[in-house]
Amino acid sequence: MARITGSVLGNLSGKLGNLSARTVEGQTILAARPSSFEVSQSPASIAARAKFAVNGNFAKYVLDIEVLESIWQKSKLPGMSVYNTLFKKNYPFSDSDKPTADNIITPGGFGLPVTSATLAADNLSLELGALNTVGIFTADEVDLSIASLVVYDNPTDPNDLPYQIIKLNMEEAGFDFTAAYTGSINLDVVQKSIASKYQNSILYLAVASKSADAKVVQYSATYSQQS
């Protein structure tokens, strides 16, 4: 494996003959690819590849929510991309057929005081205890971002995908961190159609406080709920 720190080749990614290239933190990393290989069809190898795909799909949805991407950007491991950091942190928790209730959408944080989280056919309704009971919030923290993923599984029609993921998020401006919170996020038409096809779900929820210039100050740990 070779690392190129100069800019003579620019930022490369993909395959170059018998080499593969990727760019991490401004460094282009070249690695030789085997001239040929045989993909193992053992049950263990098949399950590992399936788990890899499930975990990668979950990571993609997490990073598609801007506030979550910002949180993971701050927590990425040295020499690794944000995606690879999130992938590594979640890999032990994913199954080969779907994510589990142990998967995370944030890398730690304060405990989220969820009083109630109800996922209906058309919306997600939330009740949170006052956040200042679980953390110290300063005058610089003025807004709150709420981010959620829902994994739907166990389809009523066996021809449907074994699971699907939707993302829900909203911004609460001028948030009162000293008061209990009640709110809801509506599912759009596509999301409602997905929800109607499945019998079970896993809800992942996290919040983040923001400054007036929309920067994340602190965030909660992942709350999950299976039904």
What are the tens digits of pLDDT across the range 151-180? 999 999 999 999 999 999 999 999 999 999
Percent of the chain with pLDDT over 70: 83
What is the pLDDT of the chain when averaged over all its residues? Answer: 89
Measured at the CA of 134, the angle between CA 133 and CA 136, to 5 degrees, comes to: 85
Mean pLDDT for the stretch of residues 114-127 = 97
The angle that helices 43-63 and 66-75 make with each other, rounded to 10 degrees, is 110
Highest mean pLDDT pick, 13-17, 35-39, 218-222: 218-222
As a whole number of angstroms, the distance between CA 23 and CA 198 comes to 39
- Taking residues 106-130, what's their average pLDDT? 97
Contact (Cβ atoms closer than 8 angstroms) between residue 66 and residue 54: no
Which one-letter amino acid corresponds to residue 186?
Answer: N
pTM: predicted TM-score of the whole model, two decimal places: 0.82
Query: What is the tally of helices (H) and strands (E) in the chain?
Result: 4, 12
Q: Half-sphere exposure of 154 toward its Cβ, with a 13 Å CA cutoff?
A: 6
- 3-state class (DSSP) for residue 207: strand
pLDDT average, residue stretch 13-20: 59
Here the tokens at position 189 are 């038409």
Nearest alpha carbon to residue 178 among 151, 215, 220, 138: 138
- Would you say domain 44-226 falls under CATH 2.60.40.10? yes
Q: Which of 7-11, 52-56, 130-134 has the least mean pLDDT?
A: 7-11
The residue-averaged pLDDT of 167-194 equals: 97
For the chain, residues classed under CATH 2.60.40.10 are 44-226
